[in-house]
Structure 1
Amino acid sequence: MPRSIWKGAIAFGLVHVPVALYPASQEDDIDFGWLDKRSMDPVGYQRINKRTGKAVTKENIVKGVKQEDGTWVLMDDDEIRNAYPKTMQTIEIEAFVKASEIPFVYLEKPYYLEPIAKADKVYALLREAMIADDVIGIARVVMHTKEHLAALMPDGPVLVLNTLRWATEVRNWDELRIPPAGKAAANLKDAELKMAGQLVNELTVKWKADTYHDHFAEAINNLIKAKVAAGNTHEVTPIESPVDSAAPSNVVDLTALLKNSLGKRRGAAEEVVEAAAAATPRKAAAKAPAKPAPARKAAAKKTAPPARAKAAAPARKRA
């Protein structure tokens, strides 16, 4: 089990259940990388100006939201950050509903909840109460600076928090051409419905997740194993990332300072006083440029890559 990604408490009424949140799902896709077939060098991505075709540095990229009239509203990182919901370490249950009332299309991503801080009894109390009434909790939770609607549901002994899509994120099917509901409205004959029911009964089984496999992934993995066994592999020289030049210099400077300190043990009180006096202006000088620090900090924040850009950019090439 991976490390917990969130710790807080389930809150319903005046009862709080301290819990840790763990991902209940994992990506199992095959990670296809890109290589230049001429040199076997890794191929990366660039941010391109769509008008000029030239690469754009992160420092020159701003965020904007296009309006219906074609204009753009620009927003900087500070404005976006101030709009984030406050981080709350609480899964606030707002209501309990029947699980059958929530369409599957609203389900998004599941997480396991584990009781912490000696909360086993109250954890079990909440779980058993929901099982007894055959309900699930509808809650709000803030994770990764984003507010989520979520369903808290018992699954055997464990409580599962399944994030839900907001109503505005679910498309309405009213505009689709769907046959009318009901046997008569759909013009179905009794004989047709009876035969379809027999076929459904023949295919009805108990759900066992491990009986279903990703045949494409299995075929690709078998192909990879065969190529490796046949020695059909290629050497790819890793591209070294640029190293901050300040890092090695800091190590060298620190080593030199340590060596100098070992060779200059001062025993006289006068030398200690002189050293302290000499250090005072340097300390003040070091503090002098501290005033513009917020500007540099703000600039650093603006140059940071957008948190969602990474998710939006294609991470891999798939067949």
Structure 2
Amino acid sequence: MPETDSPSPFWSGTITFGMVTIPVSLVSATRSSAGVSLRQLAPDGAPLRRQYVCPDHERALEPDEIARAYELDSGQYVIMTDDELDALAPEASHDIELRQFVDRAALSPMLFERPYFLLPDSESTKPYHLLAQVLEATGRAGIATFVMRGHQHVVAIVADDQLLRAQTLRFVSELRTPATIGLPSPPDDLDEAQIQRLRAVIRAHTATEIAESELEDEARAQVLALAEQKLAEHRDVVQVPSDEPGPDAEIIDLMRVLQRSLARPA
């Protein structure tokens, strides 16, 4: 799959463990494209905006009227002020603190959240490549914590092809277990002949790597194709509402809007 963009680093810091420090930058390894982002429009074509409405008084609230609160099991709410929440926020830091190293196989795929590339952020890349080589050769992952955008994250730092990656990990409280969802235990009387037949089917369909076609977003492609078709037919293409409407009001190019939306960096 050819690369069509070059995202800029959005976080810079230092990997630290022991007496070792490695300046790095963080770059998202994915594009934020969950399908196609569609806007909601009013009957006159004006884009809608979200408002918070008080159900008791049936009126829209201003931002300074809105409080945040934690809901208790009893149905009561405990209000949290901005100052109280700011005091609980982790201290800003530019350190990725490596705390321990584990076998990569010991990390459940359920823990993985978002992938990032770690790029060397200095002219001296020897410490970076040294860490990458050792992690890759030993099959280990470094478990670290760091603060990004006001939140503390736990990450697994791994290496592939001499490149360091950081994979944010989910917290234990976010994970469900088979017991909590009522997953039944496997039966004791599995038929050996059926097992062998299934193994044969799996062997017949085994490939060395996953085909790119299996990872294509078909739903996204269909929506874009529909938008392109309707644009070509001049069908359902609406005008941009303006405070000063005029005879030369711009016509929305839906395809350009969609393409711009899909190309936004993560």
TM-score in terms of structure 2 length: 0.84
Higher strand share: 2
Higher helix share: 1
1:187 pairs with 2:193: no
1:36 pairs with 2:39: no
Q: Which runs of 4+ in 1 moved over 4 A?
A: none
CA offset at residue 239 of structure 1? 5.1
Structure 2: 5+ residue runs without aligned partners?
1-5, 244-266
Partner of 2:225: 222
Shift in CA distance, 239/137, structure 1 to aligned 2, threshold 3 Å: farther
CA offset at residue 209 of structure 1? 5.7
Partner of 2:50: 45
**Superposition pairs for residues 1-319 of structure 1, below 5 Å?**
1-28=6-33, 29-37=35-43, 39-181=44-186, 185-208=187-210, 210-212=212-214, 213-238=216-241
Shift in CA distance, 51/139, structure 1 to aligned 2, threshold 3 Å: same
Partner of 1:248: none
1:55-85 alpha-carbon deviations (Å, 9 max, x no partner): 1111110111112222221111111111111
Query: What is the distance in 2 between the residues matched to 1:236 and 1:222?
Result: 21
Structure 1: 5+ residue runs without aligned partners?
241-319
CA offset at residue 13 of structure 1? 1.5
Q: Percent identity?
A: 26
CA offset at residue 118 of structure 1? 2.1
Query: What is the distance in 1 between the residues matched to 2:157 and 2:144?
Result: 7
Query: What is the distance in 2 between the residues matched to 1:239 and 1:56?
Result: 25
- Equivalent AA in structure 2 for residue 226 of structure 1: Q
CA offset at residue 17 of structure 1? 0.6
CA offset at residue 201 of structure 1? 1.2
Shift in CA distance, 50/205, structure 1 to aligned 2, threshold 3 Å: farther
Contact kept, 8 Å, 1:17 with 1:119, in 2: the verdict is no
Contact kept, 8 Å, 1:180 with 1:186, in 2: the verdict is no
CA offset at residue 49 of structure 1? 1.3
Contact kept, 8 Å, 1:10 with 1:18, in 2: the verdict is yes
CA offset at residue 133 of structure 1? 1.1
TM-score in terms of structure 1 length: 0.70
Q: Equivalent residue of 2:158, what SS?
A: strand
Query: What is the distance in 2 between the residues matched to 1:78 and 1:36?
Result: 38
Query: What is the distance in 2 between the residues matched to 1:119 and 1:51?
Result: 62
Number of aligned positions between the proteins: 236
Query: What is the distance in 1 between the residues matched to 2:212 and 2:174?
Result: 31
Q: Which has the higher contact order (CA 8 A, sep 6+)?
A: 2
Q: Equivalent residue of 2:53, what SS?
A: coil
CA offset at residue 229 of structure 1? 1.4
Q: Equivalent residue of 1:35, what SS?
A: coil
1:250-274 alpha-carbon deviations (Å, 9 max, x no partner): xxxxxxxxxxxxxxxxxxxxxxxxx
Contact kept, 8 Å, 2:69 with 2:79, in 1: the verdict is yes
Structure of higher CA gyration radius: 1
